[in-house]
Amino acid sequence: RILDESRLTGRLEARLEDHGPGALQAAFSPDGAYLATASASGLIVIRETAGWSRLREMSVAGGGQLAVAYSPD
């Protein structure tokens, strides 16, 4: 679940339930336009935050991805 904490409303912004076994880690891009999530199955999903649609999906062979991060450049 993505909650809106910036306005301190706690309003639910998105429910991302289509990530397979569940996302273990999430990271927003520096500009806030994208969200990357990683799961124990090795699935990494990149979404745009304006409408939460999937832009890209990658699968890592041999195990789960326990962390995702964006580089400042």
**27-39 confidence digits (pLDDT tens):** 999 988 999 988 8
The answer to whether 25 and 38 are in contact (CB under 8 A) is yes
Cα 13 from Cα 5, distance rounded (Å)? 10
Order of strands, sheet of 43-48, starting from the edge strand that comes earlier in the sequence: 23-28, 34-39, 43-48, 54-59
Q: pLDDT, tens digit, for every residue of 9-60?
A: 666 667 777 666 677 888 999 988 999 988 888 888 899 988 888 999 988 7
The answer to whether 45 and 36 are in contact (CB under 8 A) is yes
What is the residue type of 53? S
What is the residue type of 73? D
- The structure's pTM equals 0.75
Cα 5 from Cα 19, distance rounded (Å)? 22
